[in-house]
Amino acid sequence: MWASVKYQCTEFQSLSNARRINVDREINQESMNATGLLKQLMGNLLFAGRPKKRQNMTSPVVISATAKHTATLIFFHGLGDTGHGWASSMGAVRSPHIKVICPTAPTIPVTFNAGFRMPAWFDLRSLDSSGPEDEEGIRKATEMVHSLIAEEVAAGIPTTRIVLGGFSQGGALAIYSALTFPEPLAGVIALSAWLLLHKKFPAEAIGNRNTPLLQCHGDCDPIVPYKWGQTTATLLKQFMTQTEFKTYRGMMHTTDQEEMRDIKKFIEKVLKPMTHVSSFILSSLKNGIQKVVLNKPAKKNALSPQMYKELTMLLNESAENNEVMVFALTANGDFFSSGNDLIASMELTLSSSLVIVKEFIDAVIMYPKLLIAVVNGPAIGIATTILGMFDIVYASDKAYFQTPFSSLGLVAEGCSSYTFPRLLGHSKAGEMLYLGYKMNAQEANQYGLVSKVYNHDSLEEVWNYLNMISTLSSQSILATKRLCKWNKEILLKVNKEEMKELKNLIESPELSERMLSFLTRKNKL
């Protein structure tokens, strides 16, 4: 597959035509042999057309989002360049909600550059497609890429809102890093690039096989031959499901306006603005799946009145959005949710708090599309009871389900007084609702509350599995949902009755003492 390449471009018939290439400095051909000329071209063409800053930067260039930061583009420059070389170009094509990070490679000796030191993500030992590769350096650089992703996730940006991209050596690093990263990314951009350690694929592709990949290449590239781009695209199509290879006529080892327009379109497609996003609720749409993430791990994702409001708005909006087929609820951190944020609820009047919760439950009842929960950890109270109305529930083996209503002196909610006896059986439902029984994930699977239990470290596989939904008939799914759904009128009535009983109990004298006792125990969870 990786055969020798003969250039077909009339703009680059031989090395003697190198003067036609627009590079940073004039090349004195007479003073070079063919090998020396190619190396000089390599150094100049790697960042042709970029801003001419060449500082040996060690800190990444960061262009902050100008709106609410909900997505990140991490872009890696080519050999000999710095993060500054691409920062302005990427900044020009990103949307206001996207942060751009352009790291600078360490300065190392490069074999192909006669051992001279220059910024490089790893050693480049040959321009021969069958030549030796710096496997140790590639893996070390990949660890750095994965750590950058981890930093964004720690800052509240899910992996599905992160795009990796790069030019030339940086593009090759972006492809390899995505395929060796286990969690799904939003997309990959590879410009004038190739597949590193290609003989190890597809065996080493442990992730992102369903992630969109935009691969761009000029058909007159004298440095990374066009044929390399074609053979890379052919190989990637064998195990990736969303690859696109675009050819740019007459373009050498650089970029042009047409390519930048295509990059902008790709970014807009895979990193769409998120609606109604707060720091505690994250929402993104991809392949027909609206992924909604509870993002308050410091408080075990306890649901405040404001979070209920945002969840209700998201449910109602996605119900009307023709691009949405699935509303998938999950969470960041160790807990799915510890239930109601009782302290935040006390900031409102009793009536206001109950109305907000009731409207959320009503929105769940009336939702016409698929409701899927990916329970990443313990689910307490309403975080458990609403699952009875979800169409599919997946759970981590670290999850458990508990409804401690009697400990608080409260009452069943989330229509669980109706759904649980029918799902779990009368006796087991009673044990949970009356006695606060803690049900583990395996038991929840046996009783039908959970569809499948995943090893916690493999829970992200759910999202790859759910991507198949985009290939299914939406009309068929929605029609079946209408047939399988609980009777909405009954559930609306049950919700109203539960809220009425809840109001009566909250107004009872013993509540304050029980709530104080519960909050003390809850902090020890």
Give the residue numbers marked as catalytic. 168, 221, 253
Q: Specify whether the CB–CB gap between 117 and 109 falls below 8 A.
A: yes
Amino acid, single-letter form, for residue 33: N
- 279: exposed, middle or buried (Cβ count in 10 Å: 0-12, 13-18, 19+): exposed
Q: Is the peptide bond before 202 cis (omega within 30 degrees of 0)?
A: yes
Distance, in Å, from the CA atom of 487 to the CA atom of 60, rounded to the nearest integer, reads: 55
- 401: exposed, middle or buried (Cβ count in 10 Å: 0-12, 13-18, 19+): buried
* Sign of the CA dihedral with 24 first, then 28, 32, and 38 last: positive
Q: Within 10 A of 19 (CB to CB), how many other CB atoms are there? A: 9
Of 481, 170, 462, nearest in space to 319 by CA: 481
Distance, in Å, from the CA atom of 122 to the CA atom of 107, rounded to the nearest integer, reads: 10
Q: Specify whether the CB–CB gap between 167 and 191 falls below 8 A.
A: yes
Q: And the tokens for 226?
A: 């066009």
Q: Which residues neighbour 443 within 8 Å (Cβ) at sequence distance 6 or greater? A: none
Q: Specify whether the CB–CB gap between 308 and 281 falls below 8 A.
A: no
Q: Specify whether the CB–CB gap between 133 and 196 falls below 8 A.
A: yes
Q: Which residues neighbour 276 within 8 Å (Cβ) at sequence distance 6 or greater? A: 283, 310, 313, 314, 317
Q: Which residues neighbour 135 within 8 Å (Cβ) at sequence distance 6 or greater? A: 197
Of 100, 101, 107, nearest in space to 57 by CA: 107
Three-point CA angle 338, 68, 376, nearest 5°:
25
Of 76, 16, 6, 8, nearest in space to 41 by CA: 16
- Residue 121, SS3 per DSSP: coil
How many CA atoms does the CB half-sphere of 465 hold within 13 Å?
12
DSSP notation for 372-418: EEEE-S-EETHHHHGGGG-SEEEEETT-EEE--HHHHT----TTHHH
* Residue 326 CA, distance from chain mean position: 16
Distance, in Å, from the CA atom of 400 to the CA atom of 208, rounded to the nearest integer, reads: 29
Q: Which residue blocks in 277-349 are alpha helix, DSSP H?
A: 305-320, 342-345
Of 392, 389, 391, 394, nearest in space to 415 by CA: 389
